[in-house]
Structure 1
Amino acid sequence: MMTRWPSPAKLNLFLYITGQRADGYHTLQTLFQFLDYGDTLTIEPRTDGQLRLLTPVAACPTRRI
């Protein structure tokens, strides 16, 4: 069964790294604004367990995921 999900664009107004946790991840402070632009992601399960990009982007590698 195919599902579609919105992927809204956002504009980062600021992003500060405020520290680092014991597990190595950083703590952040951020503010962003969603925009009226974006994409729609269409996802359909495959029976062979592979992932496939149906609309390749020139800057994205097309090797197997």
Structure 2
Amino acid sequence: MNTAQPVGWRKSSRSAQETDCVEIARLGGGVAVRDSKCREAGYFTVSGVQWRAFVAGIQAGRFDG
């Protein structure tokens, strides 16, 4: 069982002073993600490879509406 805890939570730079945003933190070889307005609900994790693919998709505009 992995008992590591996320380290260095930080809010998305695109959130500014908004309340609807996400926070991320390092967790082993991956990333933990949580809702900043409901931190007590916990977080989910993704591998480093998954996180880099997600960020690349954002940068490429794949999620633009």
Taking structure 2 as the reference length, what is the TM-score of the superposition? 0.32
Richer in strand (by share): 1
Bigger-Rg structure (1/2) = 1
Richer in helix (by share): 2
